[in-house]
């Protein structure tokens, strides 16, 4: 007979259900608030479908970024990566006449290469990932600007299938399935959590921690490349900005990733990222419907996000939060 053991505090099923209930409640509440304030030009079923489509774009990048964040690292070059990948994909598709193949392969491979460079510099230089990726973001912006030749890169209408239904949904769903498989059904997923939990012990288990850190950046980059396909297809063009202006693109995927981290304890990080991005977009489009000035939109969006994450992240008493 074994000794008495403590049963887990809650089963994963009830945890998951609870997580979904909170997420769905957030969707309903954010929709209801704006629907009451501006009933005529917000929140119809058609509107909600378009918000969902917009949210899938950022969610695609956020699920990749999740691998980096769970390991305890950060990436400030997300926006620069999306911009560079989109420009390379667009140039390959249009100027080299490679069509959809050029767009898809160009974006994803460029994204993954950016991830490889980020990860390699991080493990070789042994300096914090935030600093490495901030420095590299400047370089990626300059490369993008050079490739674009200072000109707006536009994707022709006949190459924009991923900017509308069903192309965008298909690509996003494929990305989610791949990310889900990697996280739950490969060693990479196990090691991602292990490194995030205790890097020293993981190393002692014979796991090449640096290799998996680089791999996390590559995976993140590839998914950000996929986000670049959706971004340029949805918006039809991309401008190569410099001087860290690309960082404005960091916000939405990063926020979605925070939802994933907050709901990890419920066992539903990816659904949380997808639904979290949806909530962010509902709030964003709600403000547009209200005609609120951009500055006010940013202030309230920021505050709303802090409130949502605070309310949904139930930190155990005494738990250290950094």
Residue 164 lies near other proteins (rule: CB under 8 A): no
Q: Which is nearer to other proteins, 4 or 46 (CB)?
A: 4
Look at the block and give the residue holding tokens 């774009």: 57
Residue 126 lies near other proteins (rule: CB under 8 A): no
How many CA atoms are closer than 13 Å to the CA of 262, on its beta-carbon side?
Answer: 25
Q: Which two tokens stand for residue 144?
A: 């993008």
How many residues form the binding site for other proteins (CB under 8 A)?
35
With CB under 8 A as the contact rule, the residue among 44, 164, 186, 310 that binds other proteins is: 186
Look at the block and give the residue holding tokens 């999306």: 82
* Residue-level length of the chain: 322
Q: Which is nearer to other proteins, 13 or 157 (CB)?
A: 13
Q: Which is nearer to other proteins, 181 or 303 (CB)?
A: 181
Residue 322 lies near other proteins (rule: CB under 8 A): no
CA distance 191 to 197: 9
- Determine if the peptide bond prior to 166 is cis (ω within 30°): yes
Kind of pairing, strands 153-154 and 237-238?
Answer: antiparallel
Beta bridge partners of 159: none
Q: What is the DSSP letter of 38?
A: S
Residue 190 lies near other proteins (rule: CB under 8 A): yes
Residue 194 lies near other proteins (rule: CB under 8 A): yes
CB of 6 to other proteins, least distance (A): 5
**Alpha-carbon torsion, ordered 289, 292, 296, 297, to 10 deg:** 20
Burial (CB count <10 Å: 0-12, 13-18, 19+), residue 93: buried
Residue 210 lies near other proteins (rule: CB under 8 A): no
CB of 214 to other proteins, least distance (A): 17
Stretch that binds other proteins, among 57-65, 108-116, 179-187, 249-257 (CB under 8 A): 179-187
Residue 207 lies near other proteins (rule: CB under 8 A): yes
Q: Please, which of residues 263-282 interact with other proteins by CB under 8 A?
A: 264
Q: Which helix (H) or strand (E) holds 153?
A: strand 153-154
Q: Please, which of residues 34-73 interact with other proteins by CB under 8 A?
A: 70
Residue 198 lies near other proteins (rule: CB under 8 A): yes
* Footprint of other proteins (CB under 8 A): 1-12, 70, 181, 184-187, 189-190, 193-194, 196-198, 201-207, 264, 317-318
């Amino acid at each position: 007979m074994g000794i008495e053991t403590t049963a887990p505090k809650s089963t994963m099923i009830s945890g998951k259900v609870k997580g979904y209930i909170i997420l769905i409640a957030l969707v309903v509440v954010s929709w209801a608030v704006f629907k009451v304030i501006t009933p005529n030009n917000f929140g119809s079923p058609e509107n909600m479908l378009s918000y969902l489509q917009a949210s899938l774009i950022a969610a695609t990048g956020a699920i990749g970024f999740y691998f980096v964040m769970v390991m305890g690292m950060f990436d400030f070059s997300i926006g620069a990566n999306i911009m560079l990948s989109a420009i390379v994909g667009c140039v390959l598709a249009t100027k080299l006449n490679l069509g959809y193949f050029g767009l898809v392969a160009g974006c994803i491979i460029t994204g993954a290469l950016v991830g490889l460079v980020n990860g390699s510099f991080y493990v070789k230089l042994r300096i914090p990932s935030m600093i490495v990726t901030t420095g590299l973001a400047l370089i990626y912006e300059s490369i993008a600007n050079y490739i674009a030749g200072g000109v707006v890169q536009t994707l022709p209408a006949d190459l924009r299938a991923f900017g509308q239904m069903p192309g965008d949904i298909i690509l996003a769903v494929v990305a989610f399935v791949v990310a889900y498989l990697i996280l739950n059904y490969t060693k990479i997923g196990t090691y991602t959590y292990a490194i995030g939990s205790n890097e020293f012990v993981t190393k002692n288990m014979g796991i090449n921690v640096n290799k998996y850190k680089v791999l996390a950046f590559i995976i993140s980059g590839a998914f950000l490349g996929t986000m670049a396909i959706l971004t340029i297809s949805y918006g039809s063009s991309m401008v190569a900005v410099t001087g860290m202006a690309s960082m404005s693109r960091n916000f939405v995927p990063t926020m979605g990733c925070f939802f994933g981290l907050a709901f990890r304890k419920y066992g539903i990080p990816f659904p949380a990222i997808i639904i979290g991005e949806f909530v962010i977009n509902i709030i964003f489009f709600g403000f547009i419907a209200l005609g609120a000035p951009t500055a006010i939109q940013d202030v309230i969006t920021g505050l709303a996000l802090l409130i949502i994450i605070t309310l949904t992240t139930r930190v155990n008493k005494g738990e250290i939060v950094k």
